[in-house]
Amino acid sequence: MRQRLPVRAATVVDDYERHLASERGLSEHTVRAYVGDVVSMLAFLHGLDGAGETGEAESDGADSGGTNSGEADPGDGRSAGAGSGEPGGPGEPGGLGGLDIGVLRAWLAQQRGEGHSRTTLARRAASARTFTAWAADRGLLAVDPGLRLAAPKAHRRLPGVLRQEQASDVMGASATGAQQEDPVALRDYALLEMLYATGMRVAELCAVDVDDADLDSRLVRVFGKGSKERMVPFGLPAERALRSWLDAGRGALVTASSGAALFLGARGGRIDQRTVRRVVHDAVESVPGAAGMGPHGLRHTAATHLLEGGADLRSVQELLGHATLSTTQLYTHVTVERLKAIHDRTHPRAQ
């Protein structure tokens, strides 16, 4: 669909993609989600067939507040504002002329009619608002129509987490495998301990360098979304696992291409996210009764166990690197649901 856009629209998308990746420092996954939504929106604007089709990758950066305040007929939306003389208008074919609130609402209405979920619609509305704000700031739009755009609130699903004893079993099984001092097993145990101890995102873990981890102070420097830096503590088990990896494992995998990366792949380069996801999935799957999950599941688990242990929301927000407290508050619902489940299962007067 991107290749079918008019030349000017495609150029705008290219510029926007560079802005997201270079100026805002968003992850590859988030950039891909935002750009896919914008391509769909511009394809709808220019009347291309299949304009409602985009990738379903979810972006953590999408702000999905509000409710849809109105709809418009797709045909009316595409023609609205076409003679406004805005940048990229009729005198500049293929630009952003005609992109107004009617088009945005009609685009979302079309996708709602195609059966997309409230979560997807909320994310795409957030993508549209982000794009139109950027376009208006760059002078590509005379006004920002996204300021008037609202969308259904996304249904926030409670994340699956491990129970504390299950998390302990996952770490114990990995520690047993690492006792043979196989380099890969030492690496896998260390990264599992670090993910659970710190609640880091998988991309953050992969980006950690050797010098970022202060083993004596048990602190690791993490670069989160937008290259925001934070210091995150970790416990004694993670420190021991890291020391074993650095002393007896990393040197066996290191090559000229390793650089300063803390965790390495089997060929010596910086470990990639796919490998970490496989390691976590396999480790969790080995524990009977544990829900299948990847690195993000361990992040959810770490946050939930911190709150269950008495940590306050603000501290957990800082540890996880959440931009807003509302994101962290999701975990309070997790702990409440777990408490209710325990009550229903154990209290003699629960039923």
DSSP string, 50-92: TTT-------TT----S-------HHHHHHTTTTS--TTSTTS
To the query of whether residue 201 is one of the catalytic residues in this protein, the response is yes
Confidence (pLDDT) at 333: 64
> Which residues face 264 on adjacent strands?
270
Of 122, 148, 174, which one is at a domain's C-terminal end?
148
Q: Decide: residue 46, CB within 10 A, 0-12 exposed, 13-18 middle, 19+ buried.
A: middle
Cα 318 to chain centroid distance, Å, stands at 17
Confidence (pLDDT) at 119: 80
Please indicate, yes or no, whether residues 276 and 203 belong to a single structural domain of this protein.
yes
| Residue of 348, 338, 331 lying closest to 297 (CA atoms) | 331
To the query of whether residue 322 is one of the catalytic residues in this protein, the response is yes
Question: For every one of its 351 residues, what pLDDT tens digit does the chain have, with 9 covering 90 and above?
Answer: 888 898 999 999 999 999 999 888 888 888 999 999 999 999 999 888 665 554 433 333 333 333 333 333 333 333 333 333 333 443 344 578 889 999 999 999 998 888 888 888 888 898 999 999 999 999 999 999 999 988 666 555 656 789 899 999 999 999 999 998 999 999 999 999 999 999 999 999 999 999 999 999 999 999 987 778 899 999 999 999 999 999 999 999 999 999 999 999 999 999 999 999 999 999 999 888 887 899 999 998 998 898 888 888 888 888 888 877 777 777 766 666 666 666 677 777 766
User: What does each C-alpha distance from 200 to 36, 224, 277, 283, 325 come to in angstroms?
Assistant: 26, 9, 13, 17, 17
Please indicate, yes or no, whether residues 86 and 171 belong to a single structural domain of this protein.
no
To the query of whether residue 196 is one of the catalytic residues in this protein, the response is no
153 domain-assigned: no
278 domain-assigned: yes
Q: What CATH number did the domain enclosing 259 receive?
A: 1.10.443.10
Confidence (pLDDT) at 287: 87
Please indicate, yes or no, whether residues 299 and 209 belong to a single structural domain of this protein.
yes
32 domain-assigned: yes
Please indicate, yes or no, whether residues 170 and 122 belong to a single structural domain of this protein.
no
The number of folded domains in the chain is 2
What is 224-280 written as a DSSP string? -GGG-EEEEE--HHHHHHHHHIIIIIHHHH--TT-TTBSSB-TTSSBP-HHHHHHHH
User: At which residue do the structure tokens 């970490």 appear?
Assistant: 276
Confidence (pLDDT) at 62: 34
Q: Decide: residue 197, CB within 10 A, 0-12 exposed, 13-18 middle, 19+ buried.
A: buried
Please indicate, yes or no, whether residues 130 and 179 belong to a single structural domain of this protein.
no
Looking at the whole model, is its pTM more than 0.85? Answer: no
Please indicate, yes or no, whether residues 284 and 206 belong to a single structural domain of this protein.
yes
Residues 124, 43: Cα–Cα separation, whole Å: 14
Catalytic residue among 112, 123, 129, 322: 322
281: which 2 tokens? 């999935």
The DSSP 8-state label assigned to residue 154 in this structure reads P
Of 148, 182, 208, which one is at a domain's C-terminal end?
148
The b/e string for 47-65 (b: 16+ C-beta within 10 A; e otherwise) is ebeebbebeeeebbbbbbe
Please indicate, yes or no, whether residues 326 and 229 belong to a single structural domain of this protein.
yes
| Residue of 167, 165, 261 lying closest to 213 (CA atoms) | 261
Catalytic residue among 105, 225, 250, 305: 225
Of 94, 116, 148, which one is at a domain's C-terminal end?
148
Catalytic residue among 123, 187, 201, 305: 201
Please indicate, yes or no, whether residues 205 and 247 belong to a single structural domain of this protein.
yes
155 domain-assigned: no
Domain that holds residue 218: 164-346
110 domain-assigned: yes
To the query of whether residue 153 is one of the catalytic residues in this protein, the response is no
Please indicate, yes or no, whether residues 102 and 188 belong to a single structural domain of this protein.
no
Please indicate, yes or no, whether residues 101 and 201 belong to a single structural domain of this protein.
no
Please indicate, yes or no, whether residues 194 and 53 belong to a single structural domain of this protein.
no
156 domain-assigned: no
Confidence (pLDDT) at 133: 94
To the query of whether residue 331 is one of the catalytic residues in this protein, the response is yes
187 domain-assigned: yes
157 domain-assigned: no
To the query of whether residue 314 is one of the catalytic residues in this protein, the response is no
Confidence (pLDDT) at 128: 92
Residues 6+ apart with CB under 8 A from 127: 33, 34, 37, 38, 41, 59, 62
Digit-coded pLDDT (tens) for 109-160: 998 888 888 888 888 898 999 999 999 999 999 999 999 988 666 555 656 7
Confidence (pLDDT) at 135: 93
Please indicate, yes or no, whether residues 201 and 107 belong to a single structural domain of this protein.
no
